[in-house]
């Protein structure tokens, strides 16, 4: 692993990369489009207004008191969700990061 990559992602590269991907996906794509792509129904308010992601922050930036990695989501309907990145097993061999 290159030193500059280690600085970006630290010891927990898998969790941090997955966390960054979830955050990117939910802040750059429209929730309706994501539902279409996954063949899922859309979330709407009673008046038909689409529910949107109003905030997506990593746990650390959202002030969530945990050592886990994850994304804190706030939706326009007032609901709040935490998506935690959990590790069940670490890689068996060293993994390197490769920039595209």
- Give the burial string for 41-57 (b: 16+ CB within 10 Å, else e): eebeeeeeeebebeebb
The beta-carbon contacts of 21-25 under 8 Å, at least 24 apart in sequence, are: 22/56, 22/71, 22/83, 22/85, 23/56, 23/57, 23/58, 23/71
Q: What are the CA-CA distances from residue 70 to residues 5, 13, 14, 85 (Å)?
A: 20, 13, 12, 5
The pLDDT profile of the chain, 100 residues, written as one tens digit per residue, is 334 444 565 666 778 888 888 888 888 778 888 889 999 998 899 999 989 889 989 898 999 999 888 899 999 999 999 999 887 777 777 777 777 7
């Amino acid at each position: 692993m290159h030193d500059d990559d280690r600085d970006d992602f630290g010891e927990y590269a898998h969790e941090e990369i997955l966390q960054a991907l979830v955050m990117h996906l939910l802040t750059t794509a429209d929730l309706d489009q994501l539902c279409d792509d996954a063949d899922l129904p859309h979330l709407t308010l009673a008046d038909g207004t689409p529910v949107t992601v109003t905030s997506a922050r990593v746990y650390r930036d959202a002030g969530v008191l945990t050592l886990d990695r994850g994304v804190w989501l706030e939706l326009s309907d007032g609901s709040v969700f935490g998506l935690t990145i959990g590790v069940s097993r670490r890689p068996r061999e060293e993994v390197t990061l490769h920039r595209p």
